């Protein structure tokens, strides 16, 4: 008989070792960006798998606490910095292998402990430069013009330089969203005033700074609030709003300094590439994120599938009801459903790895950044801007709720189909007996 670590005759962990294993898994899952309610549920499953009758798990964005029973000794562990998607995939696979008895618990613990010190699959300079590819892909969705592509690529290089500087300067790191937004917006507005780019200038600003906007935090915070995790959800949303506010302040300062023609700030989209723009944009975004986050290349088809579904749903919604948030709602719904279905079909894959690239494309809060500069030039638009931001956030929340409910139903149906196929392979007579007899 194999033990709970998947090896015959293996020595099970002591209570102290089990608490250390569970806190390691919990802190790693929180660092992955998983909502705390899902972290608590996953860790409880592992604890029960090892014989804990009533495990108590409390997760917050900064720390986790685990006890094997009510009133028992508890272990506390701090949550480290956010993990790359490459590391998120490793954590998800290790958790799956542990629950499936495919990996000894000692090896899982060793993997988690060495996760942050393990070298990346992709050299740092390639990961940094890949952001230029992602920025150009987002530009193909937001402002598909040849000159705009060139300017967005150059602005993304500027952001990459600032990111590299921030790794050695705590002050620069803490103010990075504001500094990057100011630098990029100044460059793009000057290019627009010189007549080098077409359409609304701010649609070319956003792709270069999108990597600095807290799309993942907003998604996790909203998900936690939906699950009644008020402390964690409020904390994440507050931090995300602060990051967005810094980026918005950088844009406002750049607008005040350059003081461009108000016509350059109109939310106007051009289209010089036709239907090829969204198709090529999805490929560049997916490929660039795989390089930037050092994700296993075998996950690229699934990332592209969910990404393409999200973009298509968003575009259809915008064409059907422009300016109403329908596109954002459909995009959020498609991203949630698509990622959960992939997780059911391929349980070894991380749902977050295939989901987050799509959510970054949805860009929660970007509508506010696109119009916030107009408040500086036209204060009477402040009410309209606030309404647009609230509409976008509400559309995302409703999309997440609807998508999650639909995805649970779809996932349950897929699991039932897989169980029937498994039964038919192992016991065909049992399946045949379930079918009604025919005369």
The residue behind tokens 């016509």 is 263
Residue 196 shares a structural domain with residue 333: yes
pLDDT for the residue numbered 364: 43
Report the distance separating Cα 355 and Cα 79, nearest Å. Answer: 22
pLDDT for the residue numbered 305: 92
Of the pLDDT bands very low, low, confident and very high (cuts 50, 70, 90), residue 429 is low
42 in any annotated domain: yes
Residue 97 shares a structural domain with residue 145: no
Residue 171 clears pLDDT 50, i.e. is over it: yes
Residue 94: both structure tokens together:
């290790």
Residue 241 shares a structural domain with residue 298: yes
pLDDT for the residue numbered 367: 47
Lowest average pLDDT, out of 238-242, 254-258, 394-398, goes to 394-398
Residue 307 shares a structural domain with residue 162: yes
Residue 411: both structure tokens together:
């996932």
* CB atoms near residue 313 (< 10 Å): 25
The residue behind tokens 């295939």 is 354
- Residue 329 sits in which domain range? 124-417
pLDDT for the residue numbered 372: 53
Q: Residue 375: which of 389, 366, 385, 365 has the closest Cα?
A: 385
* CB atoms near residue 418 (< 10 Å): 12
Residue 107 shares a structural domain with residue 158: no
What sections of 170-258 are H helices per DSSP?
170-174, 176-193, 202-209, 215-226, 230-258
Residue 336 shares a structural domain with residue 388: yes
156 in any annotated domain: yes
Positive or negative, the CA dihedral 103, 104, 106, 107 is negative
Q: List the 56-59 sheet strands across, edge first.
A: 56-59, 63-67, 74-78
Positive or negative, the CA dihedral 336, 339, 342, 348 is negative
pLDDT for the residue numbered 153: 93
As a whole number of Å, the CA-based R_g of the chain is: 24
pLDDT for the residue numbered 339: 85
208 in any annotated domain: yes
Select the highest-mean-pLDDT range: 91-100, 349-358, 386-395. Answer: 91-100
The predicted model gives 215-222 an average pLDDT of: 79
Contact yes or no for 91/32 (Cβ under 8 A): yes
Of the pLDDT bands very low, low, confident and very high (cuts 50, 70, 90), residue 337 is confident
Query: What distances in angstroms separate CA 61 from CA 176, 181, 217, one per listed residue?
Result: 21, 26, 10
Contact yes or no for 187/155 (Cβ under 8 A): yes
Written as one string, the DSSP assignment of 17-30 is HHHHHHHHHHHHHH
Residue 104 shares a structural domain with residue 242: no
Residue 84 shares a structural domain with residue 207: no
140 in any annotated domain: yes
232 in any annotated domain: yes
pLDDT for the residue numbered 280: 93
Residue 212 shares a structural domain with residue 323: yes
Positive or negative, the CA dihedral 170, 171, 172, 176 is positive
Residue 240 shares a structural domain with residue 314: yes
390 in any annotated domain: yes
- The neighbouring-strand residues paired with 77 are 64
Say how many Å lie between the first and final Cα of the chain, rounded. 46
Residue 144 shares a structural domain with residue 202: yes
The domain boundary, picked from 81, 113, 145, lies at: 113
- The neighbouring-strand residues paired with 76 are 65
Contact yes or no for 184/167 (Cβ under 8 A): no
Residue 224 shares a structural domain with residue 171: yes
Tens digit of pLDDT for each residue in 49-99? 998 888 999 999 999 999 999 888 899 999 988 888 888 888 888 888 888
Burial class (CB in 10 A: 0-12, 13-18, 19+), 263: exposed
Split into its structural domains, the chain has a count of 2
pLDDT for the residue numbered 150: 93
Residue 361 clears pLDDT 80, i.e. is over it: no
pLDDT for the residue numbered 381: 52
305 in any annotated domain: yes
pLDDT for the residue numbered 439: 38
Burial class (CB in 10 A: 0-12, 13-18, 19+), 181: buried
The predicted model gives 314-338 an average pLDDT of: 80
The predicted model gives 19-30 an average pLDDT of: 93
Residue 73: both structure tokens together:
């000794």
DSSP character at residue 76: E
312 in any annotated domain: yes
Positive or negative, the CA dihedral 76, 109, 127, 345 is negative
Mean pLDDT score across all residues of the chain: 81
The predicted model gives 235-243 an average pLDDT of: 87
Its pTM stands at: 0.79
Select the highest-mean-pLDDT range: 45-49, 86-90, 291-295. Answer: 45-49
């Amino acid at each position: 008989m194999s033990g709970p670590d998947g090896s015959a005759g293996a020595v099970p962990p002591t209570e102290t070792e089990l608490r250390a294993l569970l806190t390691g898994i919990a802190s790693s899952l929180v660092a992955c960006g998983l909502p705390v309610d899902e972290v608590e549920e996953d860790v409880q499953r592992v604890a029960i798998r090892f014989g804990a009758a009533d495990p108590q798990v409390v997760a917050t964005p900064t720390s986790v606490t685990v006890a094997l029973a009510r009133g028992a000794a508890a272990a506390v562990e701090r949550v480290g910095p956010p993990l790359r998607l490459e590391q998120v995939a490793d954590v998800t696979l290790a958790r799956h292998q542990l629950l499936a008895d495919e990996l000894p618990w000692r090896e899982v613990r060793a993997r988690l402990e060495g996760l942050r010190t393990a070298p990346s699959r992709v050299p740092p300079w390639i990961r940094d430069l890949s952001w230029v590819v992602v920025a150009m892909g987002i530009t193909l969705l937001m402002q598909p013009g040849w000159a705009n592509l060139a300017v967005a690529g150059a602005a993304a290089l500027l952001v990459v330089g600032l990111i590299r500087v921030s790794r050695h300067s705590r002050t620069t790191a803490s103010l990075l969203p504001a500094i990057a937004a100011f630098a990029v917006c100044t460059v793009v507005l000057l290019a627009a005033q010189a007549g080098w780019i077409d359409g609304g200038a701010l649609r070319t600003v956003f792709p270069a700074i999108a990597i600095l906007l807290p799309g993942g935090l907003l998604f996790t915070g909203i998900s936690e609030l939906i699950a009644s995790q008020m402390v964690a959800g409020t904390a994440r949303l507050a931090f995300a709003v602060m990051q967005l506010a810094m980026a918005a302040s950088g844009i406002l300062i750049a607008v005040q300094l350059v003081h461009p023609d108000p016509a350059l700030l109109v939310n106007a989209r051009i289209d010089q590439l036709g239907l090829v723009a969204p198709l090529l944009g999805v490929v560049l975004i997916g490929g660039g994120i795989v390089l930037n986050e050092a994700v296993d290349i075998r996950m690229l088809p699934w990332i592209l599938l969910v990404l393409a579904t999200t973009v298509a749903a968003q575009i259809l919604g915008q064409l059907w009801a422009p300016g109403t948030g329908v596109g954002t709602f459909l995009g959020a719904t498609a991203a949630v459903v698509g990622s959960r279905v992939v997780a059911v079909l391929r349980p070894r894959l991380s749902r977050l790895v295939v989901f987050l690239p799509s959510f970054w494309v949805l860009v929660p809060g970007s509508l506010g950044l696109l119009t916030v500069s107009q408040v500086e030039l036209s204060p009477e638009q402040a009410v309209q801007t606030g309404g647009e931001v609230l509409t976008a956030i509400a559309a995302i929340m409703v999309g997440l709720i609807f998508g999650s409910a639909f995805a649970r139903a779809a996932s349950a149906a897929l699991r039932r189909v897989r169980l029937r196929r498994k039964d038919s392979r192992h016991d065909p007579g049992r399946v045949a007996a379930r079918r009604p007899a025919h005369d």
